[in-house]
Amino acid sequence: MHRNIQFVLSVLSLFFKIYLRGKSNPLKLTVSVNRLLSLILLCSLNISVWSNDYEYDRIKNIVYKKIDEKTLKLDAYVPKGEGPFPAILVVHGGAWRLGSKGQLAIYARSLAKRGYTCFSINYRLAPKYKSPAQTEDCRDAIRWIRKNASTYKVDPERIGAMGYSAGGHLVSMLATTGLSKENDPQGVGTKIVAAVAGGAPTDFRTVPEKSNALKYWFGEARKDLPEAYEADSPNAFVDKDDSPIFFYNGSSDLLVHPDKHPAVGFRGPVALHESLKGVNVDTDLYIANGAGHIAMVFNKKAQNAGYAFLDKHLKPSNKLRVFWLAGQSNMQGQGVVDLDHPKYYNSGKGILKNVMKNPEFAFRYNHIVNEKDEWVVRNDVFVRYKTKEELKTGGLSIGFTGYGGKHHIGPEFQLGHLVGASFDEPVLLIKTAWGGKSIHKDFRPPSAGGETGKFYKKMISEYREGLAKIGNEFPHLAQLEPVLSGFVWFQGWNDMFDEVARNDYQANLICLINDIRKEVKQSDVPVVIGELGNGGINVDKNMITIRKAQKAAAEFLGSSTAFVSTSQFAREANDSPNVGHGHHWFGNAESYFLIGDALGKALLKLNKK
């Protein structure tokens, strides 16, 4: 190892001599340093790994592609354990014409130790293989990983990429041009979740038209082949659906200037970083003061920040997302699923099994049944609801209402599907809802004055109980940290019939939300207030008074509170199963589904999802 260090120091000394000779000719300097960079990377990266005692298996020289009588290989670094693990494609540098899959072994090893399955690849090199061959090889490597995910314990939905120099450019191309399975002509998908790009060129459209500096790679000067320079410029493809990218660069990098190469003219990471910020794609940029191109390969601060960025996007946290759903009987849930008696349920009009057959809106319900036409039971969203008769716990599906059996749904149904699809972490919905209760008396909060309501206390108690018993009721969630990510209030019917209750509703609701936030010690916990929307648009003045109070309370409480209109989801009695139950939205399942959808979307917006 000592001899290796001496070798690297001698090479660095040679680099300094090249730099002094090349100051008057930047193009010649760029070519010389590129060749030297490859030599350093090939010979030195392994010295930074001091131990062979790693908890992963390395499988070398796996063929992932054959093209033009060329066989492309990769090395796989597979963590020990059951998996599935997130995966990282590791892409070497070398000006698109030098280097090999062993160059960035230090990155692959470090990531494997962090619980990633890593694939370090070779790709076709210039000048024999012109752009976009290198980018296409990276895309095919992503496809190969997806198709072979089970073999290497990979989660095919959690694939990222990390590269340096030319490799940084290539992973940036993956991030800005990725295709979903549906849009990929090969039906596999090239889209990645996130990328880390070190020393990365990001835009070649600024290269002088007559410059031959990159002719070896593009085939011509830019004036003769402008479309090629654009087609391999990540910055040319930026939109809001791009994958997040973390960039790192040295401020004194002579090969890839952070902003723009002074001689060759291509843009560095700053350009793409600013473009991604402009469309609200998560991105970060770390520039090390005084560092050059080679030094940044070894910069631990940059590496660790990049690894943390990948962790953020590719690894589920140790958190359990908790949503607290509270209110009266319409939060309990009255939407009929499958009861269709001609007399008692209006022959099934408006029940879930029938509304989902409407071809105009069938797309809304594709996710709630499986290929066997059975109700989906989610394994990432769980519900706890203590009714008068029983404690209901389990994976989200139909049946978590105040009724026995599995014949009804409430707002929790579609709300849970939405948040489950949007959060990487598991979700727990805790319902605390009882029919026939007012905020004026039953849910009366402490700060409203007078006697605190019995069901306010019960609501707090059952929420606390739900958290305390996670280990017993959901053992597989026991090691996760519960984080309250939203409180939903859907109530108001009983307050409508008392003049004092109507007049005090806004103040009482503000007090309730403030007291809840104080109780959970989260002053900014997202709160969604669902409108008392029964009866639709044309209703009496008492209901309008409650609706106005609900909206005004949300506005008073500020930006972490949202009011959700629901009156547009009301359906006619004749189109619903419970024709005499206007206070329960006539039992119309479409109404409850759409209410849950609207409440869920508001929660996601407040959570910046």
What's 50's DSSP letter? -
Q: Which two tokens stand for residue 124?
A: 């076709």
Digit-coded pLDDT (tens) for 495-548? 999 999 999 999 999 999 999 999 999 999 999 999 999 999 999 999 999 999
Pair type for strands 245-250 and 56-67: unpaired
Q: Which two tokens stand for residue 262?
A: 């002074």
Helix (H) or strand (E) holding 154: strand 154-164
Based on the domain organization, do 96 and 226 belong to the same domain?
yes
pLDDT at 479: 87
Backbone angles phi, psi at 430, to 5 degrees: -110, 115
Based on the domain organization, do 235 and 361 belong to the same domain?
no
For residue 363, pLDDT beyond 60 = yes
**SS3 assignment, position 2:** helix
Higher-confidence position of 13 and 161: 161
Q: Which two tokens stand for residue 320?
A: 């359990």
* Alpha-carbon torsion, ordered 356, 358, 361, 367, to 10 deg: 30
The whole domain housing 377 covers 319-606
Report how far apart, in Å, the C-alpha atoms of 508 and of each of 212, 454, 503, 514, 559 are: 73, 15, 10, 10, 19
Classify residue 468: in a domain, yes or no: yes
Number of domains in the chain: 2
Query: Using 50, 70 and 90 to split pLDDT, how confident is the model at 120?
Result: very high
pLDDT at 14: 37
Based on the domain organization, do 300 and 349 belong to the same domain?
no
CA angle 61, 66, 68 (to 5 degrees): 130
Q: Which two tokens stand for residue 93?
A: 């540098």
Based on the domain organization, do 384 and 289 belong to the same domain?
no
Q: Which two tokens stand for residue 122?
A: 């070779």
Based on the domain organization, do 305 and 324 belong to the same domain?
no
Cβ atoms < 10 Å from Cβ of 212: 12
Task: Say which residue the tokens 């298996």 belong to.
Answer: 57
Cβ pair 391, 377 in contact under 8 A: no
Based on the domain organization, do 135 and 221 belong to the same domain?
yes
What's the mean pLDDT in 209-228? Answer: 97
For residue 605, pLDDT beyond 90 = yes
Classify residue 272: in a domain, yes or no: yes
Indicate the residue type of 314: L
Digit-coded pLDDT (tens) for 313-324? 998 778 999 999
Which of the residue ranges 30-44, 238-252, 307-321 would you say has the lowest mean pLDDT? 30-44
Query: Using 50, 70 and 90 to split pLDDT, how confident is the model at 206?
Result: very high
Cβ pair 267, 260 in contact under 8 A: yes
Please return the burial class of 538, using the count of CB atoms within 10 Å of its CB with bins 0-12, 13-18 and 19+: exposed
Digit-coded pLDDT (tens) for 538-575? 999 999 999 999 999 999 999 999 999 999 999 999 99
For residue 43, pLDDT beyond 80 = no
pLDDT at 559: 95
Based on the domain organization, do 266 and 386 belong to the same domain?
no
Q: Report the C-alpha gap between 205 and 547 in whole angstroms.
A: 56
Query: Using 50, 70 and 90 to split pLDDT, how confident is the model at 424?
Result: confident
User: What is the residue-wise DSSP string for 52-79?
Assistant: ---SEEEEEEEEEEEETTEEEEEEEEEE
Report how far apart, in Å, the C-alpha atoms of 180 and of each of 45, 146, 421 are: 34, 12, 17
Helix segments in 356-411, DSSP class H: none
pLDDT at 103: 93
Pair type for strands 335-336 and 408-409: antiparallel
Q: Report the C-alpha gap between 196 and 306 in whole angstroms.
A: 6
Q: Number of H helices and number of E strands within the chain?
A: 18, 17
β partners of residue 78: 57
**Domain stops at, among 269, 290, 314:** 314
Classify residue 38: in a domain, yes or no: no
- The strand ranges marked E within 274-390 are 283-288, 319-327, 335-336, 381-386
What's the mean pLDDT in 96-110? Answer: 95
pLDDT at 26: 39
pLDDT at 41: 43
Query: Using 50, 70 and 90 to split pLDDT, how confident is the model at 42?
Result: very low
Helix (H) or strand (E) holding 472: helix 470-473
Classify residue 355: in a domain, yes or no: yes
Please return the burial class of 609, using the count of CB atoms within 10 Å of its CB with bins 0-12, 13-18 and 19+: middle
Based on the domain organization, do 62 and 135 belong to the same domain?
yes
For residue 76, pLDDT beyond 70 = yes
pLDDT at 18: 35
Classify residue 15: in a domain, yes or no: no
User: What is the residue-wise DSSP string for 222-291?
Assistant: TTT-HHHHHHT-GGGG--TTPPPEEEEEETT-SSS-SSB-TTT--B-HHHHHHHHHHTT--EEEEEETT-
Cβ atoms < 10 Å from Cβ of 27: 13
Helix (H) or strand (E) holding 530: strand 527-530
Backbone angles phi, psi at 483, to 5 degrees: -130, 115
User: What is the residue-wise DSSP string for 157-175?
Assistant: EEEEEEEETHHHHHHHHHH
Q: Report the C-alpha gap between 479 and 516 in whole angstroms.
A: 25
β partners of residue 121: 74, 91
Based on the domain organization, do 88 and 65 belong to the same domain?
yes
Q: Report the C-alpha gap between 447 and 438 in whole angstroms.
A: 16
For residue 192, pLDDT beyond 50 = yes
Indicate the residue type of 423: F
For residue 45, pLDDT beyond 60 = no
Helix (H) or strand (E) holding 563: strand 561-564
Average pLDDT value over all residues in the chain: 91
Closest CA to 395 of 368, 373, 372, 422: 368
How many residues are listed for the chain in this entry? 609
Based on the domain organization, do 360 and 495 belong to the same domain?
yes
Write the CATH number for 117. 3.40.50.1820
Write the CATH number for 334. 3.40.50.1110
Classify residue 400: in a domain, yes or no: yes
Q: Report the C-alpha gap between 577 and 348 in whole angstroms.
A: 6
For residue 468, pLDDT beyond 90 = yes
Task: Say which residue the tokens 């605390």 belong to.
Answer: 432
Backbone angles phi, psi at 7, to 5 degrees: -60, -45
Closest CA to 481 of 319, 312, 317, 322: 319
Q: Report the C-alpha gap between 117 and 285 in whole angstroms.
A: 25
Based on the domain organization, do 203 and 256 belong to the same domain?
yes
Based on the domain organization, do 242 and 376 belong to the same domain?
no
**Domain stops at, among 261, 281, 314:** 314
Classify residue 560: in a domain, yes or no: yes
Pair type for strands 195-198 and 335-336: unpaired
What's the mean pLDDT in 250-273? Answer: 97
Classify residue 43: in a domain, yes or no: no
User: What is the residue-wise DSSP string for 108-144?
Assistant: HHHHHHTT-EEEEE----TTTS-TTHHHHHHHHHHHH
**Domain stops at, among 283, 314, 345:** 314
